[in-house]
Amino acid sequence: MSDRFRLTLAQLNPTVGDLEGNAALARAAWAAAREAGADMVALPEMFVTGYQCQDLIMKPAFEQDAVRHLTALAEACADGPTMGIGGPWAEDGKLYNAYWIMTRGRVVSRVLKHHLPNETVFDEVRLYDSGPLGGPYSVGNTRIGTPICEDAWHEDVAETLAETGAEFLLVPNGSPYYRGKFDRRMGHMVARTVETGLPLVYLNMVGAQDDQVFDGGSFVLNPHGELAALLPVFDDCTAHVDFVRDGAGGWRAETGPLAVHPDPWEQDYRAMVQSLRDYCGKTGFGQVLLGLSGGVDSALVATIAADALGPDNVRCVMLPSKYTGQASLDDAAEVARRLGCRLDTVSIAAPVDAVEGSLAHLFEGTDPGLTEENIQSRLRGVALMAISNKFGEMLLTTGNKSEVAVGYATIYGDMAGGYNPLKDLYKTRVFQTCRWRNAQHRNWMMGPAGEVIPPQVIDKPPSAELREDQRDDDSLPPYEVLDVILEQLIDREASVAEVVAMGHDRETVKHVEWLIYLSEYKRFQSAPGTRLTPRAFWLDRRYPIVNRWRDPT
- So which residues are the catalytic ones? 45, 113, 149
71 conformational bin, left if phi > 0, alpha if psi -120 to 50, beta if neither: alpha
User: What's the burial of 284, exposed, middle or buried (CB within 10 Å: 0-12/13-18/19+)?
Assistant: exposed
H-run or E-run covering 168? strand 168-173
Amino acid letter, 299: A
CA–CA–CA angle 440, 257, 269 (5° rounding): 25
Give the residues across from 145 on adjacent strands: 169
Contact present, 280 and 308 (Cβ < 8 Å)? yes
Strand pairing class (200-204; 314-318): unpaired
DSSP letter for each residue of 356-389? HHHHHHHHTTS---HHHHHHHHHHHHHHHHHHHH
How many C-beta neighbours within 10 Å does residue 133 have?
A: 15
CA–CA–CA angle 246, 251, 257 (5° rounding): 105
Amino acid letter, 385: M
Contact present, 306 and 447 (Cβ < 8 Å)? yes
In angstroms, the Cα distances linking 356 to 348, 350, 462 are: 12, 10, 26
27-66 CB burial, b ≥16 within 10 A, e <16 = eebbebbeeeebbbbbbbbbbbbbbbbeeebeeeebbebb
CA distance 368 to 362: 12
Contact present, 223 and 243 (Cβ < 8 Å)? no
